[in-house]
Amino acid sequence: MVSNRTLNRKPGFNTWLPYLLILPAVVFLVTFLLYPMIRALINSFFNYQRTKPKQYGFIGLENYKALFQDDDLLPSLLISLKWVVVEVGLQTVIGLMAALLLNRRMKLQGVLRTVIFVPWAISGVLTGILWMLIFDDNFGLINNVFEMWGLTPRSWLGNTSLAFPSVVIAELWRGIPFLAITILAALQTIPDEVYESAKMDGANRATVLFRITLPLIKESIMYATLMRCIWAFQSVDLIMTMTNGGPLGVTTTFALYMYETSVTTGNYGYGSTLAMLSFLILIGFTIAYLKANSYGMEDN
C-alpha cells in the first residue's frame, strides 16, 4: 500500500476518486428513485387532483381517513391477495418441478433449458398479447380447437369466473422461468456425493427429495418466492393488456387500482396515500416473511 501511494502521482485525487466514480449513479438514484419516494410521502398529505387544481392544499391525514371509506379498496386488496397467493404458489411448485427435471443429465438438456427459460425474456405486455391470441373469443386457439372437437366456445377473458384463471395462466407462463432458474442454481450447489450416499443408504426418490434436496435449497426457494411475491403484487402490465381489470373489476388488483387512481384519474394526493399503504404492506409482509422463515430454521 505504501509503495502504491508513493507511485501514484496525486494521492489526494485517489481518495476522492471513488466518490467521483459513484457520483453519476448517486445523482440518478437520488433524483429519480429517492426523491419521487419522498414526494409520494408528501403528496399523500395533500389534496392534489389534476382535475381540481384550485383545491390544492395541505389536508393532514384526510387522505388516510378516506382509505376507510373507499369501497373499491378492500375488493382490490383481496384480488391482489388471491393473485399473489395463487400465482406464487403455482410458480413455485411448477418452477421447482422444472428445475428438478432440468437438473438431470440427459440428451437435449441445453435445448430444453433454453426453451423453458425463454418466457423470462418476454415482457408482460407481449405475454399478454400472446395469450390474448390464445384466449380470444373468435380467433383464439382454444375456442377454435373447442369448436373442432364439438365443445362450446367460451368467452375466456370476458366471463367473470373465467377471466381470473385465464390471466393467472398467462402470468404463470412468464413466471416459471425465474423460479426454475433460481432453484436450478441452488440445485447445482449440491454435490453429487450427497445423492450417492443417500442412494447407498437405500433412500427412494421421494425421501431424497423431501429429506435431502428440499431442505438444502430451502433458502433459495424462500428468496425466490419473496421476490416473486413483491413482483406479483406490483405488476400491472400483463393484466392491463389482457383484461384491463375487467370484466366487472374481477381482475382489478390493488396495483392496477392504484395506477388508475393516481395516474389515469390524476388524483395524485390520494393515489400517493394508496402508494404509502402498499409500501407499508410490502415492508410488513417482507419482515413477517423473513421472520417466519428464520423461525422455521430454528426448528430444524
Partner 1 sequence: MKTSWKEKTINIFVIYIPLIVLVFFVVTPIFWTLSLSFKHSSDIVSEHFTILPDPFTLENYTKSWSTGRISQYFMNSAIISISAVICVTIIVILNGFALSRFRFRGKNLFMVFMLMTQMLPRIIIISPLYLLMRDLGLVDKLASCIIVEIATAIPFQTLLMKGFMSGVPKEIDEAAEIDGCTKMQTLFTVILPVIVPGILTVFSFAFINCWNEYLLPYTFLSSGSKFPLSVGLRYMITQMSIDYGGLAAGAITAIIPPLCLFGYVQRYLVSGMSAGAIKG
Looking at residue 8, what DSSP letter applies? S
DSSP states of 206-241: HHIIIIIIHHHHHHHHHHHHHHHHHHHHH--HHHHH
Tell me, residue by residue from 154 to 193, as one string, x for binding to partner 1 by CB under 8 A and - for no binding.
Answer: -------------------x-xx-x--xx-xxx-xx----
DSSP reduced 3-state for 267: strand
Q: Is 245 in the site for partner 1 (CB under 8 A)?
A: no
Closer CB to partner 1, 93 or 292, in the complex: 93
Q: Work out which of 35, 56, 58, 210 binds partner 1, going by CB under 8 A.
A: 35
Site for partner 1 in 132-151 (CB under 8 A): 132-134, 136, 138-139, 141, 144, 147-148
DSSP states of 36-86: HHHHHHHHTTEE-BSS-GGG-EE-TTHHHHHGGG-TTHHHHHHHHHHHHHH
Q: Is 200 in the site for partner 1 (CB under 8 A)?
A: no
Q: Work out which of 67, 198, 208, 231 binds partner 1, going by CB under 8 A.
A: 231
Cβ atoms of residues 143 and 137 within 8 Å: yes
Site for partner 1 in 59-118 (CB under 8 A): 94, 97-98, 101, 104, 112-118
- Taking the complex as a whole, the smallest distance from the CB of residue 191 to partner 1 amounts, in Å, to 15
Closer CB to partner 1, 78 or 115, in the complex: 115
Q: Work out which of 236, 251, 252, 260 binds partner 1, going by CB under 8 A.
A: 236
Closest by Cα among 63, 24, 67 to 41: 63
- Taking the complex as a whole, the smallest distance from the CB of residue 299 to partner 1 amounts, in Å, to 25
Q: Is 24 in the site for partner 1 (CB under 8 A)?
A: yes
- Taking the complex as a whole, the smallest distance from the CB of residue 79 to partner 1 amounts, in Å, to 15
- Taking the complex as a whole, the smallest distance from the CB of residue 61 to partner 1 amounts, in Å, to 19
Alpha-helical runs (H) found in 118-262:
124-135, 141-148, 163-187, 192-200, 205-207, 214-234, 237-242, 254-259
